[in-house]
Chains A and B, each alone.
Chain A
């Protein structure tokens, strides 16, 4: 009994060190019981995330499209840019607060974070690899079997453990250090302009982008006209239900300043264009969300105040957090580093 309590206490301690959302966040959706966070698993996941070995020609890593400095999105690329300079069909979203997402991808094609990595690894325009081959490559690379052993107690590389490690690292990408958060913690105050922006936000945006996560992570049609080249109908592709035509996953607005361009196809470069869309260019269609039926009315000054509020959602600490950055000691010189067990930088 006593022993049980101790094990539990230790488990809680490691877990809370790796994942400790603030009290004003709702309970996460991810079932941590199935894959309890552990520092060696998170570290393995972090190394894998930054290692191009997961791609067919060893040139593209997850971080190629999900850069920490862009809040793990892809800057400059409206559509994702993968192996052999191939261009995909969607914009790479920011990766943060993933434990609260119910489904993944702009159309919700993926229902579990563990399974998400299969998509980029095997996609012909992204990493173009196969899972059996990735497993084989990792087993041959001196760096990995000891890391799998340390993390999972078994140096054999399996698809299961590879996926679990990648999910663990991504679960630790929690953004909660924006100015908005310090106001929530009563450590700081909104300026008058930010406060006014917050009121406007609450009025016009918060049904779909509610604090503190700034997304419901549900799906909606926010009135973007169909791109006639890409012909992307969003969620309908997965459900084959017409009621889901043009519905896309609602993205978080946290760290938006680091994640341009915007929307599922990266059609807008600037936040002003986004506001222009919501105030002037909403396209009516059968599935347009009811909140946006009459468009959003904002004066020029109100737009400025709204943007002032939105700027309080940027989390510099998250973007420059060394704990989730490129693991130099492991990846810069793989051959030497396999014997090193120094601190990660």
Chain B
């Protein structure tokens, strides 16, 4: 079915591959920046990842205005204002975020304050409340999963109310995303697996939900292929540089796909499993994905069947009759989960997380109905259906 209408936008320059970090000084200078503030977290810094970047910059005589390393896993307005103050004190002229989702979201919000002035982050919350470009903004991801380096969204907790405030604007997109295998090489297998399964879910949902379009499809399918071909290899051999780079690129490509085509029911349910039981996001995605695909079969069998080519390769795809491809694609995702489990014990079910109780499920199902990701799922799940999926996944 052809798409009646779609939009696609990704102005992020991707700088990817071996020795990519050494391109950072040139990219900074080409954006008129000579004094960047690095925003990161203590974990990232303690394993020496920030040093890789600063050394490459030192060698090109680029000094940094400072390193802000106090981003917590669940960032909030006070962190953002504190970091913005530090940026101003240090006279920085641009931002380099080095980290995962929370660091990148924080850096996006800091960029709002340091570009627009003031300390009132809330004034910019919501959609379309930024009207002009912000300071030069570079992102160097240290996980291969969230895709935040290519998304126009930041979510920050409001310290006053405890609610999560979204910020949505094209101006939040980074200018440059730098993918260097050195940055993900030391990621432990379990986190590698969870973040890769998040990226796989981004690609699968972008490809199977209502806002899919031909351009985002091409990013999504390429990402799915890279993850299916490389995840198990990387888990077996964590120092596999090529495989690491493939996963990092896949996460970015999946990020481009879902920032244009959005996600669906896996995320609607997973966000709330995370909120209620504090299970890491990628773990939720990995657990729920096959069950939700089965639920979506009724509306999307052909599209899910198309995934098989990218999940299993042309030989398998050609050998399976078209009427069975969708089931086979889901089976293939289950196989991946089993392989990943045997290597690093990534939970396969909600009960295996040890954090979710059966009695939590009704609450999670109820909350999921109000999750915006539900809007673009091919089928609007009812409360009963959402609960049924969670029970299957338990």
A and B found bound together: no
Spell out B's residues near A (CB within 8 Å): none
